[in-house]
Structure 1
Amino acid sequence: RAMTAFPIAAVQSEYSLSTRAPDLGLVQTCAELGVAMVAFSPVGRSLLTDTPIPRERIPDLPFLSANPRFTEPNLTENLRIMEGFRKLAAEMGTTAAGLANAWLLSRGPHVIPIPGTRSVDHLRECISGAALSLTAEDLERIEAVLPVGWTHGDRYSEAQWAGPERYC
């Protein structure tokens, strides 16, 4: 409906293997309309990496210390499940961050991951996913390790939901 009022070039939303709500229509609609889907937090705020933020640092990080995915018992479960994804990435000759970004890129040419990092090494890990070409079998293996809904804990705390997505 917004496109009838004004041309839209891009839509930004959190999207990753741990946050798949955009698969419920946003990704598909963007593809149909020729709109870029800009995926922020493509590595799930470090969960989808080989070196997630250490649990002892989380209390010092205001956003993560209040985020349900980074509080107990959810954090322990999420890290346990991620062990399988890190192992799969290593078997495929890449990093977890590279594989997570390759998965996003496989969703369509209109999907553009925008990883946030303060580290050049972490940026290199993320962009290494652009060099990967995932097969249907690769995607099945990823899905087997991280099926829809695998993440324990809501995407945001009650206070963190305040904002433009709250209307949904």
Structure 2
Amino acid sequence: MSMPKRQLGANGPMVSAIGFGCMSFAGFFGAADDETSLETLAAVEAAGIDFWDTANLYGMGRSERIIGQYLKESSAQVTLATKVGIIPGPPRAFNNEEDYIRAELESSLEKLNRDKVELYYIHRRQQELPVEKVAETMGKFIEEGLIDAWGLSEVAPSTIRRAHKVVPVTAVQNEYSLWTRQPELGVIQTCEELGITFVPFSPIARGALGVADLDPAAFHDSDFRKSNPRFMGQNWLENMEYIRAFRTYAAKKGVSTPALALAWVLHQGDHLIPIPGTRTKEHLADWADAGEIGLSEDDLWEIEQILPAGWAAGDRYADAQMVGVERYC
């Protein structure tokens, strides 16, 4: 298997068309084990996935430390992205001020065993601070060699345009999958127009489009999805009807459900680099070859009939989780 490559931003490096999200290493989707996480990273490297994504928030540095340990003990050559800006609550707050970002960046670099990161995101915007000011701050870090490029997460097209005028934005990261399609209403198009890579996170619908049915009643107490409306009660029962139909279609095509879901995302534009995540190398194997799956116009039409835009019952976040996300439609 050969992993296809895509360019990160207008002037960035060529990276694997499928990236890897490291949020689950911090226990957001159930209890995580550091040794298992290190084994998963080895499998990720072996699969040719060289674009890794984390954040200072994930386990309050736990995910970054695991990556740093792996990089220290291996010869892996990866393009790293991490994020800053969320102060966990309750209540959740946000800080995009230069002094705070600098201190957090220095802390992240220490955990990652790096002198710089290739991509540094504002995880959520601090609304009372003009994004132009934030862009200036990121520009300073680029000039100082602490980061190669910067990005934004969960933002509106208008924010992207404002920021890009000051210091070019390399990547924008928003949730996007077959059950979360709001970015089609402006973000994906804006990124393409401006030469920005769009990085879909949760492209396999937080595991809902996995190889087997999930049982929300069995979720670990720490699992982020326990309070997610789409996994609750009647919403989940309705969603499973659609998911099982999609799983049947994937089986007819001879591919796994998550691989087909990921292939669909990849087919939405060459400027998309999705970052699925997992805690185990076994689940990685379910979708690592998605870049090799070709989809015809007929395939895309059939998928649209099975999972039409807006099919998912329930919001993608609980109200508390939605704080900080820019709404634009």
Q: TM-score by structure 1 length? A: 0.94
**How much has 1:94 moved relative to structure 2?**
0.3
**How much has 1:166 moved relative to structure 2?**
4.5
Is residue 189 of structure 2 the alignment partner of residue 28 of structure 1? yes
**Residue in 2 aligned with 1:158?**
319
**Residue in 2 aligned with 1:58?**
219
**How much has 1:59 moved relative to structure 2?**
5.9
Kindly provide the amino acid, as one letter, of the partner of residue 114 in structure 1: I
Q: Which runs of 4+ in 1 moved over 6 A?
A: none
The answer as to whether partners of 2:203 and 2:275 remain within 8 angstroms in 1 is: yes
Match of 2:177 among 9, 16, 27: 16
CA distance in 2, matches of 1:167, 1:135: 33
CA distance in 2, matches of 1:25, 1:121: 35
Is residue 167 of structure 2 the alignment partner of residue 6 of structure 1? yes
**How much has 1:25 moved relative to structure 2?**
1.0
**Residue in 2 aligned with 1:142?**
303
CA distance in 2, matches of 1:62, 1:162: 19
**Residue in 2 aligned with 1:83?**
244
CA distance in 2, matches of 1:57, 1:27: 35
SS of the aligned residue for 1:151 comes to coil
CA distance in 2, matches of 1:69, 1:106: 25
TM-aligned CA distance change 1:137 to 1:80, over 3 Å: same
CA distance in 2, matches of 1:167, 1:142: 27
**Residue in 1 aligned with 2:228?**
67
CA distance in 1, matches of 2:230, 2:257: 18
The C-alpha deviation readout for 1:92-115, integer Å capped at 9, x for no partner, is 110110000000000111111101
Relative contact order higher in (CA < 8 Å, ≥ 6 apart): 1
The answer as to whether partners of 1:15 and 1:41 remain within 8 angstroms in 2 is: yes
SS of the aligned residue for 2:288 comes to helix
Answer with 4-13 or 119-128: which moved more. Answer: 119-128
Kindly provide the amino acid, as one letter, of the partner of residue 180 in structure 2: T
**How much has 1:53 moved relative to structure 2?**
3.0
**Residue in 2 aligned with 1:101?**
262
**How much has 1:61 moved relative to structure 2?**
4.0
**Residue in 2 aligned with 1:42?**
203
Which runs of no fewer than 5 residues in structure 2 stay unpaired? Answer: 1-161
CA distance in 1, matches of 2:214, 2:221: 11
The C-alpha deviation readout for 1:98-156, integer Å capped at 9, x for no partner, is 00000000011111110110111211222221111110000001000000011010011
The answer as to whether partners of 1:101 and 1:126 remain within 8 angstroms in 2 is: yes
Answer with 55-64 or 108-117: which moved more. Answer: 55-64
Answer with 128-137 or 118-127: which moved more. Answer: 118-127
CA distance in 2, matches of 1:73, 1:141: 26
Answer with 61-70 or 12-21: which moved more. Answer: 61-70
Match of 1:133 among 286, 290, 294: 294
The answer as to whether partners of 1:16 and 1:104 remain within 8 angstroms in 2 is: yes
The C-alpha deviation readout for 1:4-53, integer Å capped at 9, x for no partner, is 11111100010000000000011111111111101100111111112243
The answer as to whether partners of 1:58 and 1:70 remain within 8 angstroms in 2 is: no
CA distance in 2, matches of 1:143, 1:167: 25
Whichever structure has more helix as a proportion of its residues is 1
Identity of aligned residues (%): 44
RMSD of equivalent CA atoms: 1.4
